[in-house]
RNA sequence: GGUCCUGUGGCCGAGUGGCUAGGCAGAGCUCUGCAAAAGCUCGUACAGCGGUUCGAAUCCGCUCGGGACCUCCA
């Protein structure tokens, strides 16, 4: 049983074999910090966070590099309307690094909320201008780029004559040549398919760096090539990102790196699919994004309520990463309820005492549990089938609850299976899938008060003073605190 | 227009030719002072039409619908 990934480069499911035994280098395209992250952005970062976590679970030492794109030609989200009113003053006042800082901070905050681990290295494009210039110089020296008016373009046709340009994205060179779309700034290119390595900065452009070709800023693909090479080497294991980056971004990266490093940069190319809303991709071009801050707070007309970051994480993991995932309030609310049930069962399991029965009272149940747990690894190895792992977990939920309610004896499972059950659930839920308790931990004082209330409720209940016992429960419920009478006579407390 | 993906029960979603995915919602039952949970049982779904096969949601063809990329985009 070995780990397999669907490799976009070969369009096949392949056994994962790292270039260096025991080590994995992984590069994931990070955000452009010119605006706030939206729900769609959550998907790759959660997907590759799970890849990262799973590789570590398998014992690999992983270097995970995820960049921040803070260079290039961009303007702050929503500034356009303002610009029309006071274009000049806004441009004069806008300090690019201020904008970049603001959105980088927001992005980091969102990643933390979603419980994504920090990458090993998070390089910024502005911090690697020198490396990018060096790479461009090399491409020119090799004869695969040309300079026009202070801008440098990659010669796609020359490259395509010798290398399989378009292999990753399934593009045919002839088609690219036919698609002569009239776009601004194209006239400098020899061919419309050529892409910029360096752009000359017009006088009003604020972000600018000196280069052998004059003041300007790097092209849109070179940063990833430069930073991946610097931190992961000429060849590394995994390159990840959204499917929409397949072309032209990753195709261009391959071309640039192939010229400089004589290698296709990554062995395995992994791409997550899009999050859609009403069947349409959530993205800039459609103006249908829901920002993560809005998702969490509920502050968006499309949202019936706010959704906890863990609900969003769970929602995303319930689908295979290469399928589209359609957003809807119904789907999010279903995920919310499902996660709650799963997590409550997990809490029960954690507290379940381990007995010392070597053999199972119910061998059939024992076997069933063992099989379901064993499949976790199998499913993850099969191109990261998190949805199936979660499905198995849901099949295990009734087992846990039945033991709690006494329908099944704990000793129906052998000691060994029960221990495996506890450890596997804990490792998978918290370490591999990266889920965590939704409810905020309360300070000791509140817990003390609640325990006192529970005690009082128990007392008055035994005296059949239901008016008082119901009052306690109902009033607390209004505050979002839920008291439940358990089968064993205890009262459990949870928060909405 | 080109390239590619996709169409599963009320909703969301797994599905590797044969064996009930799972979640949410819904119905019934059990437990319970009542609640709320929880447990058990229930849906015989695979866009349509053909074909291959002993057997297809799964393979092939056509038709219809949806989408992605070709431009910044996760």
Whose C1' is closest to the CA of A398: which nucleotide? B39
3-state secondary structure chain A: CCCEEEECCCCEEEECCCCECCEEEEEECCCECCCCCEHHHHHHHHHHHHHHHHHHHCCCEEEEEECEECCCCCCCCCHHHHHHHHHHHHHHHCCHHHHHHHHHHHHHHHHHHCCCCCCCECCECHHHHHHHHHHHHHHHHCCCEEEECCEEEECHHHHHHHCCCCCCCCCCHHHHHHCCCCCCCCCCCCCCCCEEEEEECCCCCCCCECCCCCCEEECCCHHHHHHHHHHHCCCEEEEEEEHHHHHHHHHHHHHHHHHHHCCCCEEEEEEECCEEECCEECCHHHCCCCEHHHHHHCCCCCCCCCCCHHHHHHHHHCCCCCCCEEECHHHHHHHHHHHHHHHHHHHHHHHCCCCCCCCCCCHHHHHHHHHHHHHHHHHHHECCCHHHHHHHHHHHHHHHHHHHCCCCCHHHCCHHHHHHHHHHHHHHHHHHCCCCCCCCCCCHHHHHHHHHHHHHHHHHHHCCCHHHHHHHHHHHHHCCEEEEECCCCCEEEEEC
Nucleotides in B strand less than 7 A from protein CB: 1-4, 11-15, 21-25, 31-40, 66-74
Nucleic strand B under 7 Å from the C-beta of A83: no
- Residue A186: pLDDT above 90? no
Rounded CA gap, A62 and A20, in Å? 11
Nucleic strand B under 7 Å from the C-beta of A238: no
Q: For residue A215, what pLDDT is reported?
A: 93
A192 CA to B57 C1' distance (Å): 44
Burial-class residue A271 by CB neighbours within 10 Å (0-12, 13-18, 19+).
buried
Q: For residue A75, what pLDDT is reported?
A: 54
Whose C1' is closest to the CA of A274: which nucleotide? B74
A324 CA to B40 C1' distance (Å): 35
A window 400-459: Cβ near strand B (< 7 A): 401-402, 404-405, 407
A379 CA to B53 C1' distance (Å): 30
A179 CA to B1 C1' distance (Å): 9
Q: Which residue in A44, A387, A393, A335 sits closest to A327, CA to CA?
A: A335
Q: Is the peptide bond before A248 cis (omega within 30 degrees of 0)?
A: yes
* Residue with more model confidence, A203 or A100: A100
A476 CA to B25 C1' distance (Å): 27
The predicted model gives A61-89 an average pLDDT of: 66
Mean pLDDT of chain A: 90
Nucleic strand B under 7 Å from the C-beta of A174: no
A window 201-230: Cβ near strand B (< 7 A): 220
Which residues on neighbouring strands pair with residue A495, listed in sequence order? A481
ipTM: 0.94
Task: Summarize pLDDT for A212-233 with one digit per residue, the tens.
Answer: 999 999 998 999 999 999 999 9
Rounded CA gap, A157 and A410, in Å? 69
Q: For residue A170, what pLDDT is reported?
A: 85
HSE-CB of A324 using CA atoms within 13 angstroms: 13
Sequence-distant (6+) residues with CB within 8 A of A111 are A45, A118
CB atoms within 10 A of CB A464: 8
pLDDT band, residue A286 (cuts 50/70/90): confident
Domains and CATH numbers, chain A: 4-272 (3.40.50.620), 292-432 (1.10.730.10), 444-495 (no CATH)
The predicted model gives A262-268 an average pLDDT of: 95
Q: For residue A35, what pLDDT is reported?
A: 87
Whose C1' is closest to the CA of A397: which nucleotide? B38
Rounded CA gap, A196 and A274, in Å? 26
Whose C1' is closest to the CA of A47: which nucleotide? B74
Nucleic strand B under 7 Å from the C-beta of A495: no
A101 CA to B73 C1' distance (Å): 21
Least confident of A86-95, A192-201, A382-391: A86-95
Q: For residue A207, what pLDDT is reported?
A: 83
Task: Summarize pLDDT for A1-55 with one digit per residue, the tens.
Answer: 699 999 999 988 999 999 999 999 999 999 999 889 999 999 999 999 999 999 9
- Residue A86: pLDDT above 50? no
A172 CA to B1 C1' distance (Å): 15
The predicted model gives A335-358 an average pLDDT of: 93
A window 321-360: Cβ near strand B (< 7 A): 323-326, 328, 330-331, 333-335, 337-338, 341, 344-345
Task: Summarize pLDDT for A364-420 with one digit per residue, the tens.
Answer: 999 999 999 999 999 999 999 999 999 999 999 999 999 998 889 999 999 999 999
Whose C1' is closest to the CA of A241: which nucleotide? B74
Q: For residue A494, what pLDDT is reported?
A: 83
A window 127-166: Cβ near strand B (< 7 A): none
Whose C1' is closest to the CA of A473: which nucleotide? B35
A427 CA to B9 C1' distance (Å): 34
Nucleic strand B under 7 Å from the C-beta of A29: yes
Rounded CA gap, A400 and A392, in Å? 13
Q: For residue A81, what pLDDT is reported?
A: 37
Nucleic strand B under 7 Å from the C-beta of A232: no
Q: For residue A84, what pLDDT is reported?
A: 38
């Amino acid at each position: 049983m070995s780990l397999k990934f669907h490799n976009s480069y070969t369009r096949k499911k392949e056994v994962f074999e790292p270039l260096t035994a025991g080590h994995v280098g992984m590069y994931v395209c990070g955000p452009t910090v010119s605006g706030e992250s939206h729900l769609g952005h959550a998907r790759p970062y959660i997907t590759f966070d799970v890849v990262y976590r799973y590789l570590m679970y398998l014992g690999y030492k992983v270097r995970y590099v995820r960049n921040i794109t803070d260079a290039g030609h961009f303007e702050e989200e929503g500034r356009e309307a303002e610009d029309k009113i006071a274009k000049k003053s806004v441009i004069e006042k806008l300090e690019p690094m201020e904008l970049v800082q603001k959105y980088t901070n927001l992005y980091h905050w969102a990643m933390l909320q979603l419980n994504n681990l920090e990458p090993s290295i998070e390089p910024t494009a502005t911090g690697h201008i020198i490396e990018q210039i060096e790479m461009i110089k090399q491409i020119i020296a090799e004869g695969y780029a040309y300079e026009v008016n202070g801008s440098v373009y990659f010669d796609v046709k020359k490259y395509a004559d010798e290398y399989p340009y378009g292999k990753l994205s399934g593009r045919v060179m002839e088609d690219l040549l036919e698609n002569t779309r009239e776009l601004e700034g194209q006239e400098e290119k020899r061919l419309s398919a050529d892409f910029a390595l360096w752009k000359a900065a017009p006088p009003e452009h604020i972000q600018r760096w000196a280069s052998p070709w004059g003041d300007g800023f790097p092209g849109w693909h070179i940063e990833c090539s430069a930073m991946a090479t610097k931190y992961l080497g000429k060849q590394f294991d995994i390159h990840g990102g959204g499917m929409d980056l397949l072309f032209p971004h990753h195709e261009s990266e391959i071309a640039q790196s192939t010229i400089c490093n004589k290698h296709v940069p990554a062995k395995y190319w992994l791409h997550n699919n899009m999050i859609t809303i009403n069947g349409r991709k959530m993205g800039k071009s459609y103006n249908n994004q829901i920002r993560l801050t809005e998702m969490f707070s509920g502050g968006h007309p499309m949202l019936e309520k706010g959704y906890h970051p863990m609900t969003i994480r769970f929602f995303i993991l319930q689908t295979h990463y290469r399928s589209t995932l359609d957003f809807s309030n119904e789907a999010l609310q279903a995920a919310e309820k499902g996660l709650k049930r799963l997590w409550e069962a997990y809490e029960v399991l954690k507290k379940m005492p381990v007995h010392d029965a070597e053999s199972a009272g119910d061998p059939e149940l024992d076997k069933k549990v063992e099989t379901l747990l064993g499949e976790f690894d199998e499913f993850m190895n099969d191109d990261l089938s998190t949805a199936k792992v979660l499905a198995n977990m849901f099949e295990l939920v009734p087992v846990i609850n039945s033991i709690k309610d006494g329908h099944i004896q704990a000793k129906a499972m052998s000691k060994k299976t029960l221990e495996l059950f506890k450890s596997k659930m804990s490792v998978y839920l918290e370490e591999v899938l990266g889920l965590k308790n939704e409810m905020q931990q309360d300070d000791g004082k509140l817990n003390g008060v609640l325990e006192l209330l529970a005690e009082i409720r128990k007392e008055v209940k035994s005296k059949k003073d239901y008016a008082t016992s119901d009052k306690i429960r109902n009033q607390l419920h209004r505050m979002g605190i839920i008291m439940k009478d358990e089968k064993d006579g205890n009262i459990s407390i949870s928060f909405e």
